Amino acid sequence: MARTFFIGGNFKLNGTKQSIKEIVERLNEATLPKDVEVVLCPPAPYLDYATNLVSKPQVTIGAQNAYLKASGAFTGENSVEQIKDVGAKWVILGHSERRTIFGEDDALIAEKTKFALDKGLGVILCIGETLEEKKAGNTLKVVEKQLDAAIAQIKDWTNVVIAYEPVWAIGTGLAATPEDAQEIHASIRAYLAKKVSSDVAEKTRILYGGSANGQNAHTFKDKKDVDGFLVGGASLKPEFVDIVNSRN
C-alpha cells in the first residue's frame, strides 16, 4: 500500500507572528502535491494564530510537546485538550531535545503518547541515537528500546507517525546518507512487524529527522521505507516548500 508522504516542520523555540505568517503564506501560495500531509509545529503561543492562517487542506498544525494530564496544577505544561481546542491536530513527543535537555525518559514519553492518542491527537513519536551510541554500534538497540516503551502503551497505531532522528545529525549539518536512512527505517519497520503486527508495520509512516533540507530531500525519494521528513531549521526557510515538493 502507498503511505501518504508526510512532512513535519518543527519550529522549535523560534518564530514571531510575522515570521510564522510568512511561512504559512508561502505554503498557502505554493503549488503542493495533493498526496502530501504537512504538519507545522510552531511554539505553543502561536498554535491558535497559525491554525487560523492555514488555507491549504494538506496543511495542519501541531504542538511541539504535551503533558499527560488534560488540566490541573501543572504550570508551564501544554494540555492536549487545549491543543485540540485551538484546532491543532498533532503533537511531537519524544524529541531528542526533550530527552536530553529536559530529561524525559522512554516511560514518560510512552505515557504521554498514550494519553495524546487516547484524547484524539496524532503523535509524531521521535526516536534516535546519539553519536556515542552510533559509534558503539548500538543504533538498533537504542531505537528498539525507545520503541518498546511505546509499544507497551499504544493499542491503536492509526494516528502514530515515527520520526527517526539520529541525534548526531540534528543541527550539525551532518546527515545520514539516503542508503543509511533506508537501512535503519527498514529495520524499524521489521521490528514493528515483529513486536506489533505486519499490518501496523506496513501502514505506519517512518520519517527521517536528521538535518533534511531543500538540497538533500530529493535524494531520499526512491527509498521505500522513508515516508517523509521531520524538518527542523529548514522549516523556517523558503526551502521548506522544496522539501514538501521533493517527491515530485
Residues with a known catalytic role: 95, 165
- Closest listed residue to residue 207, CA positions, set 156, 154, 244, 242: 244
Query: Who contacts 6 (Cβ-Cβ below 8 Å, separation ≥6)?
Result: 36, 37, 38, 39, 161, 205, 207, 227, 228
Distance CA 108, CA 131 (A): 23
HSE of 201 in the Cβ direction (CA atoms, 13 Å)? 14
- Closest listed residue to residue 63, CA positions, set 28, 37, 87: 87
Classify residue 188 by burial, with Cβ atoms within 10 Å: 0-12, 13-18, 19+: buried
Which residue carries 536530553 as its cell?
100
> What separation in angstroms does the CA of 90 have from each of 97, 140, 159, 175, 180?
18, 26, 9, 26, 28
Q: Which residue type occupies 191?
A: Y
Distance CA 155, CA 44 (A): 28
Q: Hey, what's the cell of 246? A: 521533493
Query: Who contacts 51 (Cβ-Cβ below 8 Å, separation ≥6)?
Result: 61, 86, 87, 88
